[in-house]
Amino acid sequence: MPSAGRQFVLGVAVGLTVAFVVVSFNVLTYNPVHKAAVQSYHDDVYKHMASMSKDRVLLVNDTHMHHDDDSVARKLREQVRVLVWVMTSPSNLDKKATVVKHTWARRFNKFLFFSSEDNATFPTIGLKVPEGREHLTAKTMKGFRYIYEHHLNDADWFMKADDDTYVIVENLRYFLSSQNTSEPVYFGHHFKTIVKQGYYSGGGGYVLSKEALRRLGAKGNDSSICRQDGGAEDAELGLCMERLGVRTANSTDSMNRSRFHCFDPETHLFGGYPEWYYQYDSHGAKKGQESISDYAISFHYVPPEKMLALEFYIYHLRPYGINSGEQDLNRHEGKH
Ligand SMILES: *[C@@H]1O[C@H](CO)[C@@H](O)[C@H](O)[C@H]1NC(C)=O
Ligand SMILES: *[C@@H]1O[C@H](CO)[C@@H](O)[C@H](O)[C@H]1NC(C)=O
Ligand SMILES: *[C@@H]1O[C@H](CO)[C@@H](O)[C@H](O)[C@H]1NC(C)=O
Ligand SMILES: *[C@@H]1O[C@H](CO)[C@@H](O)[C@H](O)[C@H]1NC(C)=O
Ligand SMILES: *[C@@H]1O[C@H](CO)[C@@H](O)[C@H](O)[C@H]1NC(C)=O
Ligand SMILES: *[C@@H]1O[C@H](CO)[C@@H](O)[C@H](O)[C@H]1NC(C)=O
C-alpha cells in the first residue's frame, strides 16, 4: 500500500476511534447530565407556572405588544368563530394545561378544558371517564357530545386538541375562511391507513364543521355506528366520521405545503420520523421548510417551555424593517 494510502487508513482509524470515544462519552456521561439539567429546567418552568395566579398573563404580555396591524386577524376572529376543547387530565393541569390556557387557547373565540374530573378553579369539565390511554376514545366522544349539547351555536368550527398541541389560531381561521361549515367535513393531519378515507392524527388536532358536529352529536352515541370507548382514539373517531358521512379533505396550501402536523416543528424540519410514519402520512412524509406552510396551523409533542418559546418566536420576535403582510395561500379551485 502506498504511504499516502496507509496514512489515509490510519487517519480514518484514528478518526473513528476519536468519534467512538466522543460518542460513548456523550452516551455514557454527557446525556444523563444533560437530561438532568433539562429535567430541572422543566421542573423550574412548571414551578413557575404553578406559582402564577390564575388570571395573570405569563411571559406573554399583550399590553406591550407591537405596532403590527392586526386588523385582518381581528376581522377574521369575528367572521370565523372557532371553539377549541383541550383534552387534559388532573395531573397535567399545573404542568401543561395551564401553559396552553395562557398561550394559544385564549386566542380562540371559546376554549374549554376537559378532564376526568371537574375542577372549578382551573376550570375543567369532568367527563366522568377514567384516566388512561385506553379511555381516550370515550373522552373524545363525550367531549364532542358536551360541545354539541351546550355550545353548538357558540362557534362555526369545533377543534379538539391535546395539552401538548400548539395551534396558531390566526392561520386556522385563515384556512377555514375558505371552507364551508355547512358541509359534512373535518380537517387535520391526514393518515391514509386503517380507515378507507383516512383519518386525522389526534395530537395534531382536528377541526369539525358545524354539520360534522351535528352528525356526531345526533348519531355518534349509537354504538352500532361509533365505538364509545377503547381502540385508538383518532382512528376510532375517523371510522365513526366516515360512517356518519363526514369527509376528510386536503388542507395543504396552494404550494402543496402541510398545515396540520403530528410532530413538533423540529421533526418536520429535520426529519427523523419513526418508521410507522412512512406508512401513515398521506403527504409522503416530506420534511424541510419547503414542505411546511408559512401559515402552518398546528404542531404536536410541544412541551410547555417550547410553547412559551414558540409564543416568543411567532408573536414577539421581529426582524426590524420587514413587514410581512399577507400572502394568498388558500386554494381557489373552481372559484374565480
Ligand atoms: C405588561 O406590559 C405593560 C407595559 O410594558 C406593563 O405596564 C404591565 O405591567 C405588564 N403586565 C404584566 C402582567 O406583566
Ligand atoms: C384544580 O386546579 C387548580 C388550578 O390549576 C390546581 O392547582 C388544583 O390542584 C386542582 N385541584 C385538583 C383537585 O386537581
Ligand atoms: C355551503 O354548503 C351548503 C350545504 O352543502 C350549501 O347549501 C351552500 O350553498 C354552501 N355555501 C357556499 C357559499 O358555497
Ligand atoms: C343519542 O343522542 C340523540 C340526540 O341527543 C338522542 O335522541 C338519542 O336518544 C341518543 N341515543 C342513545 C342510544 O343514547
Ligand atoms: C402541487 O401538486 C400538484 C399535483 O400534485 C401539482 O400539479 C402542482 O404543480 C403542485 N404545485 C406546486 C406549487 O408545487
Ligand atoms: C392535496 O392536493 C394537492 C394539490 O392537488 C396534491 O398535490 C396533494 O397530493 C393532495 N394531498 C392529498 C393527501 O391528497
**Domain map of the chain by residue range?**
70-322+329-334
What fold, for 70-322+329-334? Spore Coat Polysaccharide Biosynthesis Protein SpsA; Chain A (3.90.550)
- Amino acid present at 51: S
Residues in the chain: 336
Backbone angles phi, psi at 64, to 5 degrees: -105, 30
Q: What is the DSSP letter of 63?
A: G
pTM of the model: 0.84
pLDDT band (50, 70, 90) for residue 50: low
The residue whose CB lies within 8 Å of the most ligand 1 atoms, and thus the one to mutate among 53, 61, 67, is 61
Q: Which residues contact 225 (CB under 8 A, 6 or more apart)?
A: 219, 240, 243, 244
Atom of ligand 5 nearest to the CA of 256: 1
CA gyration radius for the chain?
A: 23
Q: Minimum-distance ligand to the CA of 50?
A: 2
**Pick the residue with more confidence: 34 or 284?**
284
Does ligand 2 have an atom closer than 6 angstroms to the CB of 52? no
pLDDT at 231 (0 to 100): 87
- pLDDT > 90? residue 300: yes
pLDDT at 40 (0 to 100): 60
Task: List, in sequence order, every residue forming a beta bridge with 216; answer none if it has no partner.
Answer: none
Atom of ligand 6 nearest to the CA of 198: 13
Ligand 4 center to 226 CA (angstroms): 13
Within 6 A (CB) of ligand 4 lie 218, 221-222
Q: Minimum-distance ligand to the CA of 55?
A: 1
Does ligand 5 have an atom closer than 6 angstroms to the CB of 10? no
pLDDT band (50, 70, 90) for residue 34: low
Tell me the average pLDDT of the chain: 85
Rounded mean pLDDT, 23-42:
46
Q: Ligand 1, atom 5: nearest CA belongs to which residue? A: 64
Ligand 2 center to 143 CA (angstroms): 20
Within 6 A (CB) of ligand 6 lie 190, 250, 252, 256, 282-283
